[in-house]
Structure 1
């Protein structure tokens, strides 16, 4: 799917940005920026400012719960929305009949950090598409897909998987001391508990016309927090960044309809409209029809513009 932006603005709520105090400062509306920007590079120093090893400080943080504290720099915090990426495969209709699609699309976003998962504890993330058409994936990863036999009741199904690699030596559980230090600092700064992961869903019913294909995508709403991990001996890891699901914005789902390239269906696409535009409420309800699914990256020609684009609301849970 081309990196298009949803045409609807992400819903914006309020964010409280003060340090812990008896009275929280007034809430400030925060509009998400485009993309995460460059990830800061974590750097370890001794109490005198000389270079040190990140691994050594993280190991010390794990020796006792009070070994490290986290100091957040609110000025470097930012809300952002990821580029739109495809979820699952493109639904391709190579028949001469309308095909009904009824899909629940699920997006799961999780936390990552720039010190090998020591705070987030997220080493890998995986996604699948179930037989009912539910899609789960993590947008921070590369997507690969494989086809399965179509389920004609709910439209065709597919499977996709994602995996993230992290720095060698990272711990699956993360450093408890570093994680607890970050959680405490986050709550003191934002007056809310840190959200490690989040799941959002949307339901979409539509009709795919003959020689059209439907591609689902999503733009995840995220928050980046930057600060320093400081030991009780004065050693520090500077510019530690943690990316987590946003607590003030919701992600955007998008359904895009494209004309099927000739090569996918093995014959020329008929000229003109091949079916009336029934959209989400076709006459007589949705009707199943044979179809196929192919990876969206292969199905959508580079630079192609969708014939139709619908931005869908999400439901967090």
Structure 2
């Protein structure tokens, strides 16, 4: 369970390094503080740090230096800012939850990956940042262990044919939650006659650990979400989370030990923003926008992988 996963960003021909100065110099108009690449709550991710990490990639990857004319440095920089935001969320969540991992465990994970120097080749990491990422992954696993068999979400939902319809209807529900009932009632059935909508659907993470990776488990009650449950399908789901619990007793034996580190890491990443106290995430527009569904940066609003919004409170009659 200690092995750090080798799912790090590769530097290939499609990801060129243009001019570092063009991307980060003169970016003083950050989200709200001069010199910031992103802000997580009260913590600033400095532009200088992104610059330094880009310099490291240029220095250690000879092939990357040959690709400067392709002007795709923004892809690398966006990944670095994503990792910086994720790191801060993980740090904040771990502090709030009292979760930690030993340096011995981190060392073991790095060694199982082949050692920091070797494993960081052809990636955006160097030996130091590879170790930092390994620690982050282990913390995500431990955060997931704490909650994976204790969560329950209740939600109303319906499926639609594509993302445009999903986002439009999700916005309507966020503005007026009373509209959800009508959308649920009017939702079409599948070709096999299966109902594609329901009110009061309840899912426990102990019964469906795979489902705990979904946006439904990563948002507080009162949130409307829209996303594609299956990326290979055009269908999207619109859901209104009406209740979320993190203290449900599992009905049987704990499922934690049966889950892979990879799955636990993904569950931990899904929970990390909520466990961090839901800090506001601001991103320098030069790098893109924060995508709460993907838990990463997107190039722009048109590239977002989903929709999330707090629903307006229902009016009392």
Structure in which a larger fraction of residues adopt strand: 1
TM-score of the alignment, normalized to the shorter chain, above 0.5: no
- TM-score band by shorter chain is under 0.3
TM-score, normalising length: structure 2: 0.24
Structure in which a larger fraction of residues adopt helix: 2
